[in-house]
Amino acid sequence: MTRFAAPIAEQIWDMKYRFKEADGTPLDTTVEDSWRRIARDLARVEDDVDHWENVFYGALEDFKFLPAGRITAGAGTARKVTLFNCFVMGTVPDSMGGIFDMLKEAALTMQQGGGIGYDFSTIRPKGADVHGVAADASGPLSFMDVWDSMCRTIMSAGSRRGAMMATMRCDHPDIDDFITAKSDAARLRMFNVSVLITDDFMEAVKANGSWDLKFDGKVYKTVQALDLWNKIMQSTYDYAEPGVIFIDRINAANNLSYCETIAATNPCGEQPLPPYGACLLGSINLARLVSDPFGDAAKLDQDSLTELVATAVRMMDNVVDASKFPLPEQEREAQNKRRIGLGVTGLADALLMVGQRYGSDEAARQTEDWLHAIARAAYRASVQLAREKGAFPLFDADAYLASGTMQMMDEDVRAEIKEHGIRNALLTSIAPTGTISLYAGNVSSGIEPVFAYAYTRKVLQKDGSRTEEEVVDYAVQMWRDKMGEAALPDYFVNAQTLAPSDHVKMQAAAQKWVDSSISKTINCPEDISFDEFKNVYMQAWDTGCKGCTTYRPNDVTGSVLSVSDDSANKTDATAPEVVTHDDAEPMQPHGDVIYMQDPLDRPEALEGSTYKIKWPDSEHAIYITVNDLVTGGHRRPFEVFINSKNMENFAWTVALTRMISAVFRRGGDVSFVVEELKAVFDPRGGAWMNGKYIPSILAAIGGVIEQHLVATGFIAGEGMGLKSDPQAEIIGMDRPKGKACSSCGSYELRMVEGCMTCASCGYSKCG
């Protein structure tokens, strides 16, 4: 008997979490092997290893406790990877040398699989004086572009996809540019961006008062606070970014406000962190803890919950000691504070099982009660660990208990902390769980509502045949198993039918007992008015949320997972073909250009030109030949050859030749290749060529190809190429709504907890 509740769960395990040799040979034969691997690794720091291995295995068994993906994939593999998902990096100095030192640290962290967050408010605004060099500053946005290029470079080297968060204070002089940066679809693609909103600013917004934009004590400009707020709202209404982080509220509530100041978060926003802070994540699967689901006595098993939380806290505390860290500063920060982020998933399913409608007042009260029980259990477990192993090194009882969060904690828990200390400075957080929720049998994600109760995915098999596979929400499948064909009760609601205010109500209810923050998306209908949209953010502020992220589908952001017109009743969704094998390539939609199913044929002879690049400090030149195909009297690029006597470059030049030529031969407007190459940044440094700074050899090659495309009339001039791969109709099938997943090609992207996430393969922009 398989432990997996659905085929997609086993596929996710095999693709994401199963331990394999480098050649793909599985070392985890079953999912039980994966659980045992994790349990054994996290128990090795204990005195009684065998006992705790079995306890930890019991928590993992049947997907009751779900460590975050880094832990599930990396624990017990002996690989040089971090088990921490994300990091906030050090404070960015306002100096060229310091900025590029930070860039190097970011590259090293991302190379090991960690997402990063940065506050760019510390960099002087565009046009400010740069003392000693008689120049004007280029501003923080220009350096964010460098970070963006670095992230893409790390990805192109085969590392885990990059995830970055950039924040900027609402009083920074360049805040206007920051707010609108993502309106350019080709810019800052590797970043999520959020504005740090202060209490003073919100008071000024409500009073329609003035607001100073300042840096280093100098006021650069004074604006109306409401006008700036409306710019933030308009941008997120149109482009789904920036998000909003209520930074003063975060610092006031922080248990560690006496020894740290927070100015940034991890990429999904659920972990506000100090410089070099790290987020260690895991989730209690509430859907597995409901007894008598859909029955008269349905309830969450509180005893099982308390026991599971205590085990999970111990496991996560052990990760601090078992994990590797990209930087020593990150390890020191983690050891000094032992911060963990225990959250939940399957909340919406659990509510359905006990007969409650997500978004109702009753469901909000129930959510608050469940999160209160988790917080109590977590803090008491951490106190017990402190008695056994010692409190975190920076613990100061009086200062700790005086923080905003701890002042509302139960008196008996406060008394225990006062007497014995506490092992972990912060304990709770609700993180994105898109992939691990699929792995756990397609339970509802985090504290999100169910997105669609069922949808169909088409899977290409190895023999070339196609099969249809229904993916059903965990609670819906449980209803079917128990009730047969009986219609779903009216309390079954989903993300398509909920009012935005219901989303905010649930986030606020959960936030009361979460000491860090929450990653959640407030789904808004496409036709919501701008004033109603702004009210969502004001409701989030008024009800005590620490931040707010919305998603409104439109022509710019794209739709999400297409749901049938009668979804309010059927809640079925149909998605196009999903290709699950690497040797089969899905056709993707790309703009108004028709892309060929078969590549263009090569004539016997082609016209072309050869160009020479002499990279400084390189012994041998690189020769680039671009051959063109003439169609309809116009020349278009067909193939590229890159040659050099330097054998160190042989492998990558051959690979580049083949990849660029393959793209050119598919037809359509392929000028985006130029822009992709020109954006590649070499961390070792670029070079000055013909009076222009070129960030890498690859960027130089892109410039040569661009020169050729201009000369042949394929593009109008330098910088006129497409900024990204365009969208197009697909021959032979109707174009589905929304964007295709960049990992598997399916059209099952949905906004989950602040990140576009694929329901089919589990890909997430935020990792």
- The reported pLDDT for the residue numbered 570 is 40
Burial of 133 (0-12, 13-18, 19+ CB in 10 A): exposed
> 434 and 764 in contact (C-beta within 8 Å)?
yes
> Is residue 591 predicted with pLDDT exceeding 70?
no
603 or 205: which leads in pLDDT? 205
- The reported pLDDT for the residue numbered 334 is 96
- The reported pLDDT for the residue numbered 133 is 64
Dig out the tokens for 513 from the structure: 């007992």
Instruction: To the nearest 10°, report the CA torsion of 629, 656, 158, 439.
Output: 30
Other Cβ atoms closer than 10 A to 103: 20
Other Cβ atoms closer than 10 A to 717: 9
- The reported pLDDT for the residue numbered 481 is 93
- The DSSP 8-state label assigned to residue 13 in this structure reads I
Position 345 in a domain: no
Position 119 in a domain: yes
- The reported pLDDT for the residue numbered 178 is 97
Does residue 268 have an active-site annotation?
yes
- The reported pLDDT for the residue numbered 385 is 98
> 195 and 232 in contact (C-beta within 8 Å)?
yes
The CA–CA distances, whole Å, from 733 to 165, 409, 419 equal: 37, 57, 68
Domain boundary residue, one of 225, 253, 281: 253
> 313 and 72 in contact (C-beta within 8 Å)?
no
Position 561 in a domain: no
DSSP per residue, 63-97: GSEEE-HHHHHHTTS--S-BS--EEE-PPPPSSHH
When mean pLDDT is compared over 48-57, 595-604, 678-687, the highest value belongs to 48-57
Band (pLDDT 50/70/90 cuts) for residue 405 is: very high
- The DSSP 8-state label assigned to residue 123 in this structure reads S
Domain total in the chain: 2
- The reported pLDDT for the residue numbered 745 is 53
Q: How far is residue 113's CA from residue 599's CA, in Å, rounded to a whole number?
A: 35
For the chain, helix, strand, coil in percent to 5 are: 40, 20, 45
> Is residue 592 predicted with pLDDT exceeding 50?
no
Band (pLDDT 50/70/90 cuts) for residue 656 is: confident
Q: Is the peptide bond between 267 and the residue preceding it cis, with omega within 30 degrees of 0? A: no
Q: Provide the 3-class DSSP secondary structure of residue 311.
A: helix
- The DSSP 8-state label assigned to residue 448 in this structure reads P
Q: Which of 156-170, 220-234, 675-689 is least confident?
A: 156-170
Instruction: Exactly one of 105, 241, 260, 270 is catalytic; name it.
Output: 270
- The reported pLDDT for the residue numbered 740 is 58
Contacts of 535 (CB under 8 A, 6+ apart): none
Domain boundary residue, one of 711, 733, 751: 711
Q: Which of 235-244, 628-637, 654-663 is least confident?
A: 628-637
Dig out the tokens for 709 from the structure: 């495309």
> Is residue 593 predicted with pLDDT exceeding 50?
no
Q: Is the peptide bond between 140 and the residue preceding it cis, with omega within 30 degrees of 0? A: no
Q: How far is residue 490's CA from residue 497's CA, in Å, rounded to a whole number?
A: 12
**Strand (E) or helix (H) holding 193:** strand 191-197
> Is residue 736 predicted with pLDDT exceeding 50?
no
- Show contacts of 291-295: CB within 8 Å, 24+ apart: 293/353, 293/354, 293/475, 293/478, 293/482, 294/353, 294/355, 294/478, 294/479, 294/482, 294/483
Position 227 in a domain: yes
Give residue for tokens 């169909």. Answer: 456
- The reported pLDDT for the residue numbered 559 is 56
pLDDT per position as a tens digit, 326-344: 899 999 999 999 999 999 9
- The reported pLDDT for the residue numbered 569 is 39
Position 248 in a domain: yes
Interaxial angle between packed helices 361-389 and 302-322, expressed in degrees from 0 to 180 and rounded to the nearest 10: 50
Band (pLDDT 50/70/90 cuts) for residue 108 is: confident
HSE-CB for 201 with a 13 A CA cutoff: 27
> Is residue 730 predicted with pLDDT exceeding 60?
no
Does residue 266 have an active-site annotation?
yes
565 or 687: which leads in pLDDT? 687
pLDDT per position as a tens digit, 352-362: 999 999 999 99
Nearest partner of 312 among 392, 255, 377, 369, judged by Cα: 377
Position 39 in a domain: no
Dig out the tokens for 567 from the structure: 């979804």
State the pTM of this model: 0.78
pLDDT per position as a tens digit, 279-299: 899 999 999 999 999 999 999
- The reported pLDDT for the residue numbered 724 is 65
Position 476 in a domain: no
Mean pLDDT of 704-714: 89
Residues 234-254 as b/e (b if ≥16 CB within 10 A, e otherwise) read: bbbbbbbbbbbbbbebbbebb
Mean pLDDT of 703-732: 73
- The reported pLDDT for the residue numbered 465 is 61
pLDDT per position as a tens digit, 22-77: 888 999 999 999 999 999 999 999 999 999 999 999 999 999 999 998 899 999 99
pLDDT per position as a tens digit, 447-472: 999 988 888 776 655 555 667 788 89
Domain boundary residue, one of 253, 283, 305: 253
Position 145 in a domain: yes
> 168 and 174 in contact (C-beta within 8 Å)?
yes
Q: Which of 180-194, 621-635, 703-717, 739-753 is least confident?
A: 739-753
- The reported pLDDT for the residue numbered 585 is 28
> 641 and 657 in contact (C-beta within 8 Å)?
yes
162 or 40: which leads in pLDDT? 40
Q: How far is residue 387's CA from residue 164's CA, in Å, rounded to a whole number?
A: 37
Mean pLDDT of 644-667: 80
Instruction: Exactly one of 86, 151, 170, 268 is catalytic; name it.
Output: 268
Mean pLDDT of 305-326: 96
pLDDT per position as a tens digit, 548-563: 999 998 776 665 444 4
Instruction: Exactly one of 266, 285, 442, 649 is catalytic; name it.
Output: 266
> Is residue 444 predicted with pLDDT exceeding 90?
yes
Nearest partner of 748 among 521, 452, 447, 348, judged by Cα: 452
Band (pLDDT 50/70/90 cuts) for residue 1 is: low
Nearest partner of 458 among 450, 468, 473, judged by Cα: 468
The CA–CA distances, whole Å, from 249 to 206, 276, 333, 543 equal: 17, 21, 22, 12
HSE-CB for 368 with a 13 A CA cutoff: 12
Nearest partner of 767 among 440, 445, 519, 434, judged by Cα: 434
- The reported pLDDT for the residue numbered 158 is 41
Does residue 270 have an active-site annotation?
yes
Containing structural domain, residue 702: 607-711
Mean pLDDT of the chain: 85
pLDDT per position as a tens digit, 226-285: 999 999 999 999 988 999 999 999 999 999 999 999 999 998 989 999 999 998 999 999
**Strand (E) or helix (H) holding 14:** none
112 or 632: which leads in pLDDT? 112
